[in-house]
Amino acid sequence: MLIKYLFAKNEDIPAGSSSVFFGFSAIFWFVVGTGLGSFNAAKLAFPDWVTGSEMFAFGHMRQVHVLAVILGWISMAFAMTMMYMTPALGNTKLWSEKLGLWNAFLWNVGLSIGLFLLWMGITSGREYSDLIWPVDIIIFFGVLLPLGINVWMTIAHRRTQGIYITNWFFGACVFMIMVVFAVGQSPELFNLTGLTEAYMTFWFAHNVLGLWITPVAAAIAYYTIPKLTGNPLYSHRIGHLHFWSIIAFYSTPASHHLMSAPLPEWLKSFASVEGVLILIPAVAFVANILLTMKGKWSMFVENIETKFSITGVLLAIPLNMQGGFQQTRAINWYIHGTGWIVAHAHLALLGMSTFLEIAAVYFGLQQILRRKLYSLALANFHYWFVLIGFCIYWISMTIAGLIQGAGKIYEVPYIDVVVAEHPYMIARWVGGTMVFTGNLVWLYNMYMTAREGTVVPAGRYAHEMAYER
Amino acid sequence: MAIKFDQPFYSLSDETEQNRIIELWEAEKHGGLWEANNRLPLPLTFLMALIVLTAFMMTMPIWGQRPTAHDFVEHVALMDTPEIQAIEDPVAKMARVHEIAYQRADSRVKASLERHPITWDDLLNIAPEIKEAQASGKYPLDYYSVLADTIVLANFEGNPTADGSPERKQPWWDKGYTIDVFYVTYFFIFAFFVCKRLPHFSRKPDMSSAK
């Protein structure tokens, strides 16, 4: 339906079209990504599940799951929020809806090609940078650059003098992700090998998390929580502290991912201190949002978007406590290379970040479509299935990681460790499948919202209206 | 835009600048949002200080030291004693060796032994290498890292020795920490300037006329 606007004049395209395109694409990729996650988890829980075909081997499917979630769900949800929050915060329109639509279209095409090639086993072979260089070029020029241009130009054409904190993050993070992506893919282009390749790979992986996924998710909360509660953001100056400490302390500790590698020890020492200092932006962010909730805590129970948002903010606490300390020499020695890290990565992506994005997608789609959410019951089903599913996943993988760590240190035979962690692999599959089920329901709920949601009158917010189902 | 330093903990902006910021603040709503001018709560300020202190204390290389050949000298010496030779089961042999060596070790070696248990097979492999390193006397034994079943000369560039060459063992402080001290200091000076250029937190913007 939105494809018809690709060749329309910019002024003929309804405001918010690109945001809707990105929003539904994001939910679709979330369903695909978590479906693949459930499939892959089943392979670890039940080793005889789908065998005999290379295409469905864990080694082929794992990176398709990872990149479908990062580039499909998370990043498209970010693009969706940028397409509606950036102009709203500048009291203006999106600079180019047409560019936004082409951006969403090319993003879906590029990602589909990339994931299909990964599925076929055509990969650069580097974790998180798995896509081959021709696809990297599509991602850079078809995905990141148009997104950046639209965000920056919208900020430049704003009708306010000040720039709200969310737009600081949006403007800065789209720039940083371009640099991170371009530099991070360079080992393939320049044929870098060995320790240099390893370092560059994890420099990329670290910064995708630190300068894209977590700060943009936080920026979204700076919009949704004041908007939903009607309270002003608690403190502009804490916002400064958060923003600048992200820049200073999250951009520097990449080598803490390689604490056992023969990198210079001084570099590890430097990175390890910076790694703990990641707690500074985390504390600033969590404090600023929770203090903004003052007097409105009932909304945490009553309002679905607030429920998702605040859950995401609360998950930022264990996320950063783990992240800050697990990279220190003493702890990393034990948990490196175990399921603990897998649990932590899911706490970041499926926990903190995803919950904040889901809230923004719920809120944004209702506002742009001018439709009240179709069913609160389905939304609550979605919330509890994603939350309980995630918790089962996170806790089981954390325990499995501790078992693996003990097995590693005490030289327990590998097969004994596999047997010991088997129950947790089943729990992992159960949790992941719950998340997938919740997302299927979400996709249906949003589709029905677009089709049959109650019309929201002009000048009203969807969340102010009563539910009819 | 002038910066004033007469009351740095109140505001680094002069009155004109503070008024300009407050007026702008009061005039604009960003898509229906606005921001309050609250301070960083005092408990959070202490928490920040605690985080910085923890970051340095917890990451020092004295935590997470790699095992060195020096840690296992006692094990090597015990291997050929009649008591150990008389035990047949390798696991029991290793348990007894560890028990005796642990009792004789100083506290630092004890911590390392707890963190880096090795098997009898590993000990059989590293013992000749440790003896060779002892016999050559070229480097102190704690310059050699134990990596599973072998020992290697560590590549650390630690503190300088009397002849100017660097120690090949992990120092308790290295230049990474020195860089961190400067980096963190610069950050907080910068953050102080950024935050204190804002109007003092006692000045609350009145949002009733914001558009």
pLDDT category at A115 given cuts 50, 70, 90 is: very high
Residue in chain A lying closest to B170 (CA) = A265
From B35, B56, B119, residue closest to A232, measured CB to CB:
B35
The answer to whether B117 faces chain A, any CB pair under 8 Å, is: yes
For residues A223-256, one letter each, b for 16 or more C-beta atoms within 10 angstroms of the residue's C-beta and e for the rest, the string is: bbbbbbbebbbbbbbbbbbbbbbbbbbbbbbbbb
What lies within 8 Å, CB to CB, of B42 at 6+ separation is: none
Alpha carbon B207 to chain centroid, angstroms = 46
Which pLDDT score is estimated for A363?
Answer: 96
- For the stretch A30-64, pLDDT in tens is 999 999 999 999 999 999 999 999 899 999 999 99
Picking from A197, A284, A288, A221, the residue whose alpha carbon sits closest to that of residue A249 is A284
Determine what percent of chain B is predicted with pLDDT higher than 70.
Answer: 98
Taking an 8 Å cut-off on Cβ atoms, the answer to whether A265 and B170 are in contact is yes
Nearest Cα of chain B lies from the Cα of A167 at a distance, in angstroms, of 10
Cβ contacts of B117 on chain A, cutoff 8 Å: 409-411
pLDDT category at B8 given cuts 50, 70, 90 is: confident
pLDDT category at B210 given cuts 50, 70, 90 is: low
Report d(CA A259, CA A266) in Å as an integer: 11
Arithmetic mean of pLDDT, A256-264: 88
Arithmetic mean of pLDDT, A123-146: 95
Higher-confidence residue of A308 and B165: namely A308
Range with the lowest mean pLDDT among A88-92, A112-116, A314-318, A411-415? Answer: A411-415
From A160, A265, A329, residue closest to B174, measured CB to CB:
A265
Nearest Cα of chain A lies from the Cα of B93 at a distance, in angstroms, of 16
Residue A449 in any domain: the answer is no
Q: Is the pLDDT of residue A362 over 90?
A: yes
Instruction: Report the alpha-carbon angle A363-A364-A367, nearest 5.
Output: 90
Cβ A77 vs Cβ A26: under 8 Å: yes
Q: Is the pLDDT of residue B1 over 70?
A: no
The whole-chain average pLDDT of chain A stands at 95
Arithmetic mean of pLDDT, B102-106: 93
Which pLDDT score is estimated for B9?
Answer: 87
What DSSP string describes A13-45?
A: SPTTHHHHHHHHHHHHHHHHHHHHHHHHHHHHH
Which pLDDT score is estimated for B165?
Answer: 84
- For the stretch A205-228, pLDDT in tens is 999 999 999 999 999 999 999 999
- For the stretch B198-209, pLDDT in tens is 999 999 888 776
Residue with tokens 């370092």: A199
Taking an 8 Å cut-off on Cβ atoms, the answer to whether B35 and A223 are in contact is no
* Interface mutation vs chain B, best among A224, A259, A270, A283, most B CBs within 10 Å: A270
Picking from A445, A460, A274, the residue whose alpha carbon sits closest to that of residue A376 is A445
**What domain range is A81 assigned to?**
18-163
Cβ contacts of B174 on chain A, cutoff 8 Å: 265-266, 269
Tell me the three-class secondary structure of A45-71, residue by residue: HCCCCCCCCHHHCHHHHHHHHHHHHHH
pLDDT category at B136 given cuts 50, 70, 90 is: very high
Widest Cα–Cα separation across chain B:
92
pLDDT category at B211 given cuts 50, 70, 90 is: low
By DSSP bridging, strand B144-147 and strand B150-153 are antiparallel
From B29, B47, B177, residue closest to A283, measured CB to CB:
B47
Cβ contacts of B115 on chain A, cutoff 8 Å: 333, 409
Domain count, chain A: 1
**Which tokens in the block code for residue B105?**
């070790």
- Complex ipTM, two decimals? 0.90
Cβ contacts of B64 on chain A, cutoff 8 Å: 259, 328-330, 332-333
pLDDT category at A430 given cuts 50, 70, 90 is: very high
- For the stretch B15-43, pLDDT in tens is 888 889 888 888 888 888 889 999 999 99
Nearest Cα of chain A lies from the Cα of B174 at a distance, in angstroms, of 6
Taking an 8 Å cut-off on Cβ atoms, the answer to whether B195 and A89 are in contact is no
From A91, A274, A330, residue closest to B64, measured CB to CB:
A330
Report d(CA A216, CA A454) in Å as an integer: 31
Which pLDDT score is estimated for B147?
Answer: 85
Residue A41 in any domain: the answer is yes
* Interface mutation vs chain A, best among B44, B65, B121, B181, most A CBs within 10 Å: B44
Picking from A279, A325, A273, A327, the residue whose alpha carbon sits closest to that of residue B179 is A273
Taking an 8 Å cut-off on Cβ atoms, the answer to whether A244 and B194 are in contact is yes
**Which tokens in the block code for residue A174?**
């789209």
Arithmetic mean of pLDDT, A171-191: 95
Arithmetic mean of pLDDT, A154-178: 96
**Which tokens in the block code for residue A142?**
């078809």
Residue A293 in any domain: the answer is no
- The letter for the amino acid at A358 is I
Taking an 8 Å cut-off on Cβ atoms, the answer to whether A164 and B31 are in contact is yes
The domain segmentation of chain B, as residue ranges, is 5-9+11-65, 69-153
Q: Is B123 exposed, middle or buried (0-12, 13-18, 19+ CB in 10 A)?
A: buried
pLDDT category at A466 given cuts 50, 70, 90 is: confident
Determine what percent of chain A is predicted with pLDDT higher than 70.
Answer: 100
Widest Cα–Cα separation across chain A:
67
Q: Is the pLDDT of residue A361 over 70?
A: yes
Taking an 8 Å cut-off on Cβ atoms, the answer to whether B32 and A90 are in contact is no
Taking an 8 Å cut-off on Cβ atoms, the answer to whether B35 and A239 are in contact is yes
* Interface mutation vs chain A, best among B35, B182, B184, most A CBs within 10 Å: B35
- The letter for the amino acid at A129 is S
The answer to whether B175 faces chain A, any CB pair under 8 Å, is: yes
From B25, B30, B174, residue closest to A269, measured CB to CB:
B174
Residue in chain B lying closest to A84 (CA) = B31
What lies within 8 Å, CB to CB, of A410 at 6+ separation is: B117
Which pLDDT score is estimated for B185?
Answer: 97
Residue A92 in any domain: the answer is yes
Helix (H, G, I), strand (E, B) or coil at A235: strand
Q: Is the pLDDT of residue B64 over 80?
A: no
Alpha carbon B194 to chain centroid, angstroms = 28
Residue A143 in any domain: the answer is yes
From A91, A232, A267, residue closest to B36, measured CB to CB:
A232
Report d(CA B158, CA A435) in Å as an integer: 49
The answer to whether B152 faces chain A, any CB pair under 8 Å, is: no
Q: What are the Cα distances from residue A216, in Å, to A33, A239, B2, B137?
A: 20, 13, 33, 57
Determine what percent of chain B is predicted with pLDDT higher than 90.
Answer: 55
| pTM of the full structure | 0.91
The whole-chain average pLDDT of chain B stands at 89
**Which tokens in the block code for residue A158?**
């704003």
- For the stretch A320-340, pLDDT in tens is 999 999 999 889 989 999 999
Report d(CA A190, CA A99) in Å as an integer: 31
Picking from A70, A95, A63, the residue whose alpha carbon sits closest to that of residue A82 is A95
Arithmetic mean of pLDDT, A172-179: 98
Helix (H, G, I), strand (E, B) or coil at B13: strand
Q: Is the pLDDT of residue A3 over 80?
A: no
What lies within 8 Å, CB to CB, of B120 at 6+ separation is: B90, B91, B93, B94, B97
Q: Name the β-bridge partners of B33.
A: B30
Report d(CA A162, CA A173) in Å as an integer: 18
Residue in chain A lying closest to B204 (CA) = A235
Q: Name the β-bridge partners of A4.
A: none
Which pLDDT score is estimated for A410?
Answer: 82
Residue A316 in any domain: the answer is no
The answer to whether B190 faces chain A, any CB pair under 8 Å, is: yes
Cβ contacts of B44 on chain A, cutoff 8 Å: 238, 283-284, 287
Which pLDDT score is estimated for A1?
Answer: 62
Taking an 8 Å cut-off on Cβ atoms, the answer to whether A241 and B195 are in contact is yes
